A and B are shown apart, each in its own frame.
Chain A
């Protein structure tokens, strides 16, 4: 079964520092991968998605992620953290390319200090 593992349930960075949130996937077929963000008391908002068109995917709010097949990874990065980036971030994979369900990781809470 397909799954995603997010390493680190909590990541803390200073404002202006690099953000790196880790996601590894397991999949027997080329996957579709997604990063979602959840702000307090809100639903999930799509940051970016990987659909095999390009290995480096740019998303909203300055985030990007790189698909590395050899490492089965899809880590999320942002060069310079902003206070408003503090939220919970979820990596998700689609179990099959003709399906509808998303399988989510456990999430990583990002804290940004001034």
Chain B
């Protein structure tokens, strides 16, 4: 069964540094998402992306964050200047269409900011 693949599984970065989290969505999917889960808290929506544009974004997704689909297979989340509170598990997801089409999640990247 096709899967969403995320790399790396764990990223450790110094506060203030830029970090890029990478995802390879399922190949025939058109919608791409980033969610985050701070340890012990709920999964939170960050952004959705369709047709090379942001479709929706949450209040969390401020100017420090950006997303890009640099080629036909990768989908990235960039955090420009990381803060301690950016430490979380970041999940990438993809779907064929908007809800109620199911979103398929990757295993996540654990981001630790020191």
Q: Is the CB of A101 within 8 A of B42?
A: no
Within A2-35, the residues touching B (CB, 8 Å) are: 32, 34
The reply on A100 being an interface residue by CB < 8 A is yes
Query: Taking chain B's interface residues, is the majority helix, strand, or loop, or is none over half, making it mixed?
Result: strand
Q: Is the CB of A32 within 8 A of B42?
A: no
| Closest beta carbon of chain B to A13's beta carbon, Å | 22
Q: A32-B100, A43-B4 in contact; A99/B56 too (CB < 8 A)?
A: yes
Q: Is the CB of B48 within 8 A of A100?
A: yes
Q: Is the CB of B100 within 8 A of A51?
A: yes
Q: How far is the CA of A36 from the CA of B105 in the complex (A)?
A: 10
Q: Is the CB of B98 within 8 A of A99?
A: yes
Q: Is the CB of A102 within 8 A of B99?
A: yes
| Closest beta carbon of chain B to A114's beta carbon, Å | 27
Q: How far is the CA of A97 from the CA of B99 in the complex (A)?
A: 7
Q: How far is the CA of A98 from the CA of B103 in the complex (A)?
A: 14
Partner pick for B41 among A42, A45, A106, CB 8 A cutoff? A106
User: Which residue of chain A is the closest to B104 with respect to CB atoms?
Assistant: A46
Q: How far is the CA of A101 from the CA of B99 in the complex (A)?
A: 8
Partner pick for B42 among A34, A45, A99, A107, CB 8 A cutoff? A107
The reply on B25 being an interface residue by CB < 8 A is no
Interface string of A44-88 (1 = CB under 8 A from B): 111001010000000000000000000000000000000000000
Partner pick for A100 among B42, B56, B105, CB 8 A cutoff? B56
B: residues with CB less than 8 A from A are 4, 31, 33, 35, 41-45, 48, 50, 55-56, 58, 91, 93, 95, 98-100, 102-108
